[in-house]
Amino acid sequence: MALTRTEMDRKIDEHFHFEANDDVAGVLATLSPDVEHDIVGSPSGPTRGHGGARPFYESLFNDLSDSKVECLRRLYGDGFLVDESMWRGRAPGRPFGLEGKGRPLEFRLLHVVEFAESGHIQRENVWLDLAAIIRQLPQD
């Protein structure tokens, strides 16, 4: 049986909550064991399973801090949602290969998320506004 919008919202909001708290174990708990994790443009390309997703989140939580995600809109389908959000926080590390130097940062994100019947995230496909990130984190 397909998940309801409320069930999908609950899972993606839980996922974002764990991300905002730099909780790798919590984030991974929202993903199915065989999740396809695809951050578009990432040098590693799409990964599979918790072991494939873990390094991305460990790096992300070192590179970005004070995360706040504001949902701008969501679109729903049978077993999936598309979430457009605004991410705001700071860049103390090297997000996306750029020196952050602790500067404030904000950028749009687009998540395409498919759900397993268990309610876990089966596939996470993330697109981000890299042009906005580059503009805010000019390199010397």
Tens-place pLDDT, residues 77-95 = 999 999 999 999 999 999 9
Mean pLDDT estimate for the chain: 95
**By the 8 A CB rule, do 96 and 126 touch?**
no
Q: What is the pTM of this model?
A: 0.91
Tokens standing for 50?
A: 């918790």
Residue 1 has pLDDT above 80, yes or no: no
% of the chain beyond a pLDDT of 90:
92
Tens-place pLDDT, residues 19-50 = 999 999 999 999 999 999 999 988 788 999 99
